[in-house]
Amino acid sequence: MTEAGESAGLVPADNGERGGTKAAGTRELAGLVAVVTGGSRGIGLAVSAELAGAGARVAVLALNGERAAAAAASLEGDGHVAHSCDVSDSTACRAAVREVEKSLGPVAVLVNNAGVTRDNLLLRMRDEEWSQVLSTNLGGAFNMIRAVTRGMMKRRDGSIVNISSVIGLIGNAGQANYAASKAGLHGLTRSVARELASRNVRCNAVAPGFIRTDMTAALGEAAAADLRRRIPLDRLGEPGDVAGVVRFLAGPEARYITGQVIAVDGGMTM
Ligand code: NAP
């Protein structure tokens, strides 16, 4: 694999026409730099661990710098870094990407995972609840994509994965802000995919169902049991269930996939 600064190497030498150039499960991201927003816990931490396991050097971004640093230190291999970065702040995103590129080299993989909920019924929803969720979940992904895109386009190589939600597909009472932000991510994903495809930069979304993390911990046992009844695979998901799909989309096995939204939801939305 090349040193950072040359091609990010996501495209195999034969351009994949023959297929089967690399077995899944190898260190297929060796030598590449990956940025994971919200990488300090939950799904983002599992994604960071999965990408590190595939050989990537990972930059863990989160609001809380100490948690991000602890997450980066826990990853397999050397060379991972952490930055405190509020993704809703475009200047902070640009600065974080500059820092990452200075210390690790060009960003080949971006995972937009940072997200928040501020649930409320429509008539009670406050302006801040609407804007905070939109500016973090959707604005944050836009800010980060804009910050890494110039380099990816120049190198004609890159993979962007946005973590959306099945709520962006089916909606949910009490989550108008969250559903709108995640549905917006689907539009952003397809537009970025169309705009950057000619430069070999791919952009896909993963839409998780209900995954056991801090975000869903408040659900309670009764609500969790009720949810299970709506999930054909009969269990809530684990962060690792999502992380494996992100690894696949980030890497060379997915070289001919762009603009897709893949639900990882135990069959809930089929
Ligand atoms: P989580 O456990 O609550 O973790 C959220 C992560 O996002 C944390 O690392 C947090 O950083 C970071 N974050 C929040 N606001 C941020 C900001 N403004 N700037 C930078 N980082 C920020 O969430 P999760 O359940 O793992 O969810 C991760 C993603 O998956 C979210 O986009 C969520 O919408 C989506 N998702 C989750 C589920 C689910 O069932 N859990 C289902 C569908 C989709 P700190 O540690 O510093 O606070």
Phi/psi of residue 200, nearest 5 degrees:
60, 30
The Cα angle at residue 128 between residues 127 and 130, in degrees rounded to 5: 65
- Decide: 44 in ligand 1 pocket, CB within 6 A: yes
Q: Whose CA is nearest to atom 12 of ligand 1?
A: 38
| Nearest-atom index, ligand 1, CA of 86 | 19
Given a cut of 80, whether residue 61 has pLDDT beyond it is: yes
- CA nearest 144: which of 170, 176, 112, 119? 112
- pLDDT of the residue at 25: 57
Beta-strand pair 201-208/109-112: unpaired
Given a cut of 80, whether residue 239 has pLDDT beyond it is: yes
**Least-confidence region, from 23-32, 36-45, 129-138:** 23-32
Residue 95 CA to ligand 1 center (angstroms) comes to: 21
- Decide: 237 in ligand 1 pocket, CB within 6 A: no
The Cα angle at residue 191 between residues 190 and 193, in degrees rounded to 5: 65
**Interval 237-266 mean pLDDT:** 98
Q: What is the mean pLDDT of the chain?
A: 92
- Decide: 42 in ligand 1 pocket, CB within 6 A: yes
Given a cut of 60, whether residue 249 has pLDDT beyond it is: yes
| Nearest-atom index, ligand 1, CA of 136 | 18
- pLDDT of the residue at 111: 99
- Decide: 162 in ligand 1 pocket, CB within 6 A: no
Q: Indicate the top mutation candidate among 36, 37, 41 to test ligand 1's pocket, ranked by most ligand atoms within 8 A of CB.
A: 41
**Interval 89-107 mean pLDDT:** 98
Instruction: Verify whether residue 256 is a known catalytic residue.
Output: no
- Distance set, CA 242 to CA 21, 132, 201, 210 (Å): 24, 25, 22, 11
- The answer to pTM > 0.85 is yes
Residue 163 CA to ligand 1 center (angstroms) comes to: 9
- pLDDT of the residue at 15: 35
- pLDDT of the residue at 218: 83
Given a cut of 50, whether residue 56 has pLDDT beyond it is: yes
Q: Indicate the top mutation candidate among 116, 142, 231 to test ligand 1's pocket, ranked by most ligand atoms within 8 A of CB.
A: 116
Which entry of 142, 178, 210, 248 is annotated as an active-site residue?
A: 178
- Decide: 169 in ligand 1 pocket, CB within 6 A: no
Q: Indicate the top mutation candidate among 215, 231, 238 to test ligand 1's pocket, ranked by most ligand atoms within 8 A of CB.
A: 215
- pLDDT of the residue at 19: 36
